[in-house]
Amino acid sequence: GQEFVKLTVKDNDRPMFSNRLGEVKIPLDKVIANGRITDWFMIELDGKITGQVKCEIEYQPGLDSQ
């Protein structure tokens, strides 16, 4: 199966309501193939599109946490 990065998107300006706007799934194969991507991704909550978020993601193979 395809692997994804999954981001949870929240709105801190909505303290009286649920601040969770939804989730974004970004396919890892696209990130790895290009090394870096900048794109708009759909935010989904309960099967509905609630917005978009622009993300820049960079893949750096072989990095160690030393």
Please check the confidence at residue 47 and state whether its pLDDT lies above 90.
yes
pLDDT at position 65, please? 58
Contact 55, 24 (CB under 8 A): yes
Please check the confidence at residue 63 and state whether its pLDDT lies above 80.
no
Helix (H, G, I), strand (E, B) or coil at 33: helix
Query: Is the pTM here over 0.85, yes or no?
Result: no
The neighbour count for residue 9, using CB atoms within 10 Å, is 18
DSSP 8-state symbol, 62: T
How confident is the prediction for the chain on average, in pLDDT? 88
Residue 41, judged by CB atoms within 10 A of its CB (0-12, 13-18, 19+), counts as buried
